[in-house]
């Protein structure tokens, strides 16, 4: 388990990285990490520019959303983050992005065909129907989806990823966006699409747990 200082430092670092890569918008998307006590989480604040966050901007909250530490309001998606931790108790980090290609991927009801190994590893990524952002309904739907996979695409909204470390959750979010881009490029190029043979899909699928 890490210290609160380490948790906050990694939230800021990963927020900066995801913003630089265009996966977070000016105020869209949010990131959280378990606090050192194991009973609360640190989360990015509501409606604050993601390109200039500082540690003092982060908020530590309880399961009911009440603030333990910090002077700002927590992200409106705090219920969704708590739902993610409850779906996977070994999770220490959660990432919600508004990644543009993955968002469009979900809006158009796409799936990951076996075009590369990442697509095979991500083929269990479910699509969560649209619910009002910040709502209990969305939090409940994401909770159920994350029991199936460590990432899900939120229709007309974005994506959510979780993992044993915040770094791995962020990596999965990047993988979903990059693989969705490749699907887009394949459709734009047209022509005959080459898929990984079924035999190798089955052999590679169990390795998904290692990413």
Q: Which residues carry out catalysis? A: 77
Q: Are 57 and 207 in contact (CB under 8 A)?
A: no
74 C-beta neighbours (distance < 10 Å), count: 24
Closest Cα partner for 84 from 148, 14, 19?
148
State the angle between helix axes of 78-87 and 136-148 in degrees (0 to 180), rounded to the nearest 10. Answer: 30
Between the alpha carbon of residue 151 and those of residues 122, 142, 179, the distances in Å are 8, 9, 13
Instruction: Quote the CA–CA distance of 105 and 181 in Å, as a whole number.
Output: 9
């Amino acid at each position: 388990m890490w210290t609160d200082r380490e948790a906050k430092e990694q939230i800021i670092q990963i927020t900066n990285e995801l913003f630089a890569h265009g996966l977070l918008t000016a105020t869209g998307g949010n990131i959280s990490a378990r606090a050192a006590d194991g009973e609360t989480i640190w989360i990015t604040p509501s409606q604050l520019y993601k390109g200039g966050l500082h540690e003092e901007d982060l908020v530590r909250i309880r399961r009911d959303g009440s603030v333990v530490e910090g002077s700002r309001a927590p992200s409106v998606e705090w219920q969704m983050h708590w739902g993610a931790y409850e779906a996977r108790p070994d999770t220490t980090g959660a990432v919600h992005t508004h990644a543009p290609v993955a968002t469009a991927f979900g809006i158009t009801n796409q799936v990951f065909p076996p075009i590369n190994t990442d697509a095979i590893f991500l083929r269990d990524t479910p699509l969560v129907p649209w619910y009002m952002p910040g709502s209990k309904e969305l939090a409940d739907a994401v909770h159920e989806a994350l029991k199936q996979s460590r990432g899900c695409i939120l229709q007309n909204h974005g994506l959510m990823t979780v993992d044993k470390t915040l770094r791995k959750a962020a990596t999965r979010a990047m993988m979903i966006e990059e693989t969705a881009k490749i699907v887009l490029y394949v459709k734009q190029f047209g022509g005959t699409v080459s898929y990984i043979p079924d035999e190798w899909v089955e052999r590679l699928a169990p390795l998904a747990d290692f990413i």
